[in-house]
């Protein structure tokens, strides 16, 4: 099956937002074995949208569209798609009821133009929107399929995962199962070099690397009629990867670094407290992204000034004076202070120069991360900058990664209670 | 002038990398007053690339292409573009010399197939690559222009800023200027309803709304020969918006809520400390996204447990027992505690139920935000959930928004020192 992706939105044409939808859908369609040769972006313009839809249908079996499903007069994606496949729009009471319930639940007032969102192409499969107002839909005429999805990623992604993926599997007649191996401390090309022969020789399962900021995921995907057979195909490939890249693997199907850290703490009945300077609360924020983090997080203390580092965390004035706020010794005393003052099992700290300016004469990207537990204390020096400008959030994110990884590794060293 | 963006690369089609080039070029072309109505992605495939180029040239004056300028056999962007505009490829000694120098400088060895990169379309303007091997180029035939740029953003972006922008300014002769009005506390459709007549009747400047999670931006854009004339066109439109939506406007051209909050604090020489429960450090994290936040942030204290709320922030045991952790009274005592214990001018707090489970029998999405200053104290009750599942991060983000907005509003009420 060939497919293409058409994203509708003036804000994409103006570069106001990044087209994360295209990347997400490209990955998902590839994982479903659908060959995508074109991605297109157009604005909310009737003529150009019609042209783009008709061009796509002339060369592909499946067209996945995002955006332009809203209630306003310039939202015309649904109308254009319906017309292209010769469908009328008809009232969908279920979609309307869902929307009404959504407005009730959120205490917002439904406006007259929201009614437009309950009109659906005749005979369409409707995908309910659990996270917003616009429902999605799939339309089919003469073997050509259009899938309509809302534009906001927070609505589109769960709708795809919970409903659309299953719908498309029914169309392709194949089911795909994946396992994800999470790597930390190795780059994408280095990982790829270690696995090139496996990646090239293996077609079922396939092995594909994905780089995230500061980490690498390996997606191992098998096509099979059912789950059990897929798992049988996946196991030997995952084992081979473990054999080659073991020391870099922090988890399998584990979600994110923060999920892995929280899991390691939970399994051992441990708690953590954070002490942050340059990351400004980012480590605590990421830990608390994990539902149930309250079981493992005692407190997060963000101290941006020397005074607060001394007062709230007990970092010695002497240390701040002689080593500076950005130093291994300060990091260690911060981690220790966070642990002892909050009664946690593990303290983790980050102090560094996120930029854009250097600080204490120390360069942007210099970051110290420390962990402290009754069993183990350590600190590390990191150099996280690589370019000039626009680096602040990247440095902070990488520093958070190292802190979360350190928490997981520290927790793993402590025997289960 | 109309333009479009064509990005070449299989890794884009597979979703392995985010198409940051399209967003970057879209922003840059919009700023140059070039109307972009199409963005396309195709792979390194001769037939599909030729089709995409010829389609683009049939409807646009300018085609900006990225990727496929490398030395390997499947890099065919330059050849395809030259052919489309009837140009031969000719040897470019300067490009070759630059490349040779680049290899010398980086200590790498030039391979035979790199010579291909020194072939340039006849009569092309060549853009030297300071950060890689592939030079860029601009070709023009009968008023149709193709600009070729390398794929890696680290090579493409500086080449555009240093060379291509100037080349394109010479081709357009018009400039666009925008102002952005930032709204909080009103939805996109409600804002649009208030402005529909203005949006429909005004073509220069144009007014376009953009929804972000929990806030709305209005982009007002004027086309004019220079900045001064553009500002004269923009002023009355911005004034009309202010008249209609004044109470919802938290700033103009102010970036984000956290920028607006930090700015308000800086202008008055004030400091803030945060006390967070369900947002887990997110408010502090966002404040510290703003460079120079160290001037205004004293400390961020994230307390996830009752014990820590009492110990680190001085919330009364009595309050926690009778009102619960998720209550207006606890929020107020948290904000007060953060302010008093860290010596900040303003304390801001968030406590609530982010989900996925309810807590203390209180529903997901119930959040209390409080501010405390020597001049003013207040708290508010929010109901932020609207769907089921996948909502945790949304509830947290909206709660952070309200806290940041409260900080800005509180700071504004305090007379400048």
Nearest residue in B to A341, CA atom: B312
Nearest CA to CA, how far is B367 from chain A (Å)? Answer: 13
Contact list, B38 vs chain A (CB under 8 Å): 13, 40-42, 48, 52
Average pLDDT over residues A364-383: 94
**Is B20 exposed, middle or buried, given 0-12, 13-18 or 19+ CB atoms closer than 10 A?**
middle
Question: For residue B347, which of B236, B263, B273 has the smallest C-alpha distance?
Answer: B273
Contact list, B265 vs chain A (CB under 8 Å): none
Nearest residue in A to B383, CA atom: A106
Q: What is the pLDDT of residues B159-197, one digit of tens each?
A: 998 999 889 988 887 777 889 999 999 988 889 889 999
Residue A101 to residue A75: CA distance in whole angstroms: 22
Q: Is residue A388's pLDDT more than 60?
A: no
Question: For residue B244, what are the contacts with CB-CB under 8 A and spacing of at least 6?
Answer: B194, B195
| Interchain contact, A288 vs B302, CB within 8 Å | yes
The pLDDT value recorded for residue A101 is 86
Q: Is residue A109's pLDDT more than 90?
A: no
Q: What is the pLDDT of residues B306-328, one digit of tens each?
A: 999 999 999 999 999 999 999 99
Residue B129 to residue B87: CA distance in whole angstroms: 22
Nearest CA to CA, how far is B202 from chain A (Å)? Answer: 15
Best B12, B15, B32 member to test A by mutation, with max A CBs in 10 Å, is B15
Question: For residue B314, which of B281, B349, B341 has the smallest C-alpha distance?
Answer: B341
Q: Is residue A412's pLDDT more than 80?
A: yes
The pLDDT value recorded for residue B159 is 94
Contact list, B287 vs chain A (CB under 8 Å): 280
The pLDDT value recorded for residue B390 is 52
The pLDDT value recorded for residue A386 is 64
| Interchain contact, A305 vs B294, CB within 8 Å | yes
Best B24, B32, B41 member to test A by mutation, with max A CBs in 10 Å, is B41
| Interchain contact, B284 vs A281, CB within 8 Å | yes
| Interchain contact, B355 vs A16, CB within 8 Å | no
Nearest CA to CA, how far is A206 from chain B (Å)? Answer: 13
Q: What is the pLDDT of residues A53-73, one digit of tens each?
A: 999 999 999 999 999 998 877
Q: What is the pLDDT of residues B33-80, one digit of tens each?
A: 899 999 999 998 899 999 999 999 999 999 999 999 988 777 899 999
Q: Is residue B388's pLDDT more than 50?
A: no
Nearest CA to CA, how far is B172 from chain A (Å)? Answer: 17
ipTM of the predicted structure?
A: 0.74
| Interchain contact, B278 vs A289, CB within 8 Å | no
Average pLDDT over residues A163-187: 90
Q: CB–CB of A274/B301 below 8 Å?
A: no
Average pLDDT over residues A178-205: 88
Q: CB–CB of A250/A405 below 8 Å?
A: yes
Residue A262 to residue B304: CA distance in whole angstroms: 14
Q: Is residue A303's pLDDT more than 70?
A: yes
Q: CB–CB of B120/B89 below 8 Å?
A: yes
Question: For residue A388, what are the contacts with CB-CB under 8 A and spacing of at least 6?
Answer: none
How many Cα atoms are found within 13 Å in the side-chain-facing hemisphere of B67? 22
Q: CB–CB of A336/A325 below 8 Å?
A: no
Q: CB–CB of A367/A395 below 8 Å?
A: yes
| Interchain contact, B280 vs A285, CB within 8 Å | yes
Q: Is residue A3's pLDDT more than 70?
A: yes
**3-state SS class at A205:** coil
Contact list, B297 vs chain A (CB under 8 Å): 280, 302, 304
Biggest alpha carbon–alpha carbon distance for chain A:
78
| Interchain contact, A281 vs B281, CB within 8 Å | yes
Q: Is residue A416's pLDDT more than 60?
A: yes
Average pLDDT over residues A125-154: 93
Contact list, B385 vs chain A (CB under 8 Å): 105-106
Q: CB–CB of A288/B281 below 8 Å?
A: yes
Residue A212 to residue B16: CA distance in whole angstroms: 10
Residue A237 to residue A394: CA distance in whole angstroms: 32
Percent of chain A with pLDDT over 90: 67
**b/e A314-349 (16+ beta carbons within 10 angstroms → b):** ebeeebbeebbbbbbbbbbbbbbbbbebbebbbbbb
Nearest residue in A to B19, CA atom: A19
Confidence of residue B387 (pLDDT cuts 50, 70, 90): low
Average pLDDT, chain B: 91
Nearest residue in A to B37, CA atom: A42
Q: CB–CB of A117/A134 below 8 Å?
A: yes
| Interchain contact, B23 vs A19, CB within 8 Å | yes
Residue B163 to residue A377: CA distance in whole angstroms: 51
Q: What is the pLDDT of residues B127-147, one digit of tens each?
A: 998 878 889 999 999 999 999
Nearest CA to CA, how far is B91 from chain A (Å)? Answer: 32
Question: For residue B82, which of B37, B140, B130, B35 has the smallest C-alpha distance?
Answer: B140
Average pLDDT, chain A: 92
The pLDDT value recorded for residue B212 is 79
Residue A308 to residue A73: CA distance in whole angstroms: 53
Q: What is the pLDDT of residues A240-286, one digit of tens each?
A: 999 999 999 999 999 899 999 999 999 999 999 999 999 999 999 99
* A–B interface: beta-carbon pairs under 8 A: 266
Q: Is residue B340's pLDDT more than 90?
A: yes
The pLDDT value recorded for residue A417 is 64
Nearest CA to CA, how far is A414 from chain B (Å)? Answer: 23
Nearest residue in B to A388, CA atom: B154
Nearest CA to CA, how far is A105 from chain B (Å)? Answer: 6
| Interchain contact, A48 vs B37, CB within 8 Å | yes
């Amino acid at each position: 099956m060939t497919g293409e992706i058409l994203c509708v939105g003036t804000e994409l044409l103006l570069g106001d937002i990044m087209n994360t939808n295209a990347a997400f859908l490209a990955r998902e369609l590839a994982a479903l074995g659908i060959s995508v040769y074109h991605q297109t972006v157009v604005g909310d313009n009737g003529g150009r949208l019609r042209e783009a839809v008709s061009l796509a249908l002339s060369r592909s079996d499946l067209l996945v569209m995002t955006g332009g499903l809203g209630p306003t007069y310039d939202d015309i994606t649904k109308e254009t798609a319906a017309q292209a496949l010769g469908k009328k729009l008809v009232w969908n009471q279920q979609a309307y009821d869902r929307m009404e319930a959504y407005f009730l639940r959120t205490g917002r007032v439904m406006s007259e133009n929201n009614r437009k969102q309950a009109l659906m192409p005749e005979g369409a499969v409707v995908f309910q929107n659990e996270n917003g107002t616009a429902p999605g839909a799939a339309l089919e005429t003469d073997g050509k399929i259009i899938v309509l999805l809302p534009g906001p990623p927070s609505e589109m992604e769960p709708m795809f995962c919970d409903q659309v993926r299953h719908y498309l599997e029914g169309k392709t007649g194949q089911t795909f199962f994946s396992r994800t191996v999470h790597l930390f401390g190795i780059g994408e090309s280095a990982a790829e070099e270690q696995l090139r022969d496996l990646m090239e020789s293996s077609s079922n399962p396939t092995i594909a690397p994905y780089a995230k900021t500061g980490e690498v995921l390996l997606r191992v995907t098998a096509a099979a009629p059912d789950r059990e057979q897929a798992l049988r195909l996946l196991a030997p490939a995952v084992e081979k990867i473990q054999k080659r890249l073991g020391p870099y693997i922090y988890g399998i199907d584990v979600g994110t670094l923060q999920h892995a850290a929280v899991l390691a703490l939970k399994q051992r009945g441990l708690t953590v407290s954070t002490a942050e300077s340059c990351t400004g609360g980012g480590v605590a924020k990421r830990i608390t992204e994990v539902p149930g983090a309250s079981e493992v997080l005692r407190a997060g203390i963000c101290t941006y000034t020397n005074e607060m580092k001394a007062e709230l965390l007990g970092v010695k004035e002497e240390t701040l004076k002689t080593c500076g706020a950005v130093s291994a010794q300060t990091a260690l005393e911060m981690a220790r202070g966070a642990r002892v003052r909050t009664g946690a099992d593990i303290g983790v700290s980050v102090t560094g120069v996120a930029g854009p300016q250097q600080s204490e004469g120390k360069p942007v990207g210099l970051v110290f991360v420390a962990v402290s537990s009754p069993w183990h204390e350590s600190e590390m020096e990191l150099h996280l900058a690589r370019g000039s400008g626009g680096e602040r959030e990247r440095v902070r994110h990488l520093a958070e990664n190292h802190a979360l990884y350190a928490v997981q590794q520290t927790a793993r060293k402590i025997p289960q209670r």
